A and B are shown apart, each in its own frame.
Chain A
Amino acid sequence: DAEITQSPRHKITETGRQVTLACHQTWNHNNMFWYRQDLGHGLRLIHYSYGVQDTNKGEVSDGYSVSRSNTEDLPLTLESAASSQTSVYFCASSPTLQSTDTQYFGPGTRLTVL
């Protein structure tokens, strides 16, 4: 079955370190999204991509970057981790640009920055 996976599921790191969270989908979806989930804020969009070599900033993109070299993967990099980036991170994908399309979510990565 097609799916979307994230790794690692849990990560503890130190302030100032670079961290990369992986997201891999086997649906062959064009669109991929990264969100962070924080209490009281719901899910907020960090970055998104509509296809290979395409990346766009979301609502809370400062301190994060992404690159899209193939259809299946959209890794999220924290250039220099900060305590404010402690959160649960979700990756999602969808097939087209239509507003009616469902986004499919991965299981999440819990990141703690000490």
Chain B
Amino acid sequence: GDSVTQMEGPVTLSEEAFLTINCTYTATGYPSLFWYVQYPGEGLQLLLKATKADDKGSNKGFEATYRKETTSFHLEKGSVQVSDSAVYFCALSPSQGGNQFYFGTGTSLTVIP
């Protein structure tokens, strides 16, 4: 079945470090892929998405490229800030799934000054 495997956390980085959070997926067809961010005590917010192969989603300095050949959608940021501390979720929506989402387990990121 459809699923998402996400890098285990927690991740601790110093400010201005490079961030990569790995995400791979299993799905038939061409799913849409999403990254959500959850700040402490809040709900999930869409960070970025990509809806077809080779698309790059980007927002707030974060990027992720939809790689069909490696079934991956890794999240990257060149220089993290303390304000990026949050939990990040990778998710997929199957192409024929009625907008149902499958989420990864989440990766907690802490950025220290």
Contacts and interface: CB of A to CB of B under 8 A. Distances in A.
Interface of A: 31, 33, 35, 40-45, 48, 50, 90, 92, 94, 96-108
14 contacts: A42-B105, A43-B44, A50-B98, A94-B99, A98-B99, A99-B31, A99-B51, A99-B94, A99-B97, A102-B46, A102-B49, A105-B43, A106-B43, A107-B43
Contact of A99 (B42, B43, B99, B104): B99
B101 A103 contact: yes
A99 B49 CA distance: 11
A42 B103 contact: yes
B110 interface: no
B71 interface: no
Contacts of B93: 99-101
Q: Which label, helix, strand, loop or mixed, suits the secondary structure of the B interface?
A: loop
A41 B43 contact: no
A41 B98 contact: no
Nearest to B96: A99
Contact of B51 (A35, A41, A44, A100): A100
Nearest to B92: A99
Contacts of A41: 105
B89 interface: yes
B79 interface: no
Nearest to A107: B43
Given A100-B51, A105-B45, A108-B43, A42 B89 contact: yes
Contact of A43 (B45, B51, B89, B95): B89
B19 to A, nearest CB: 19
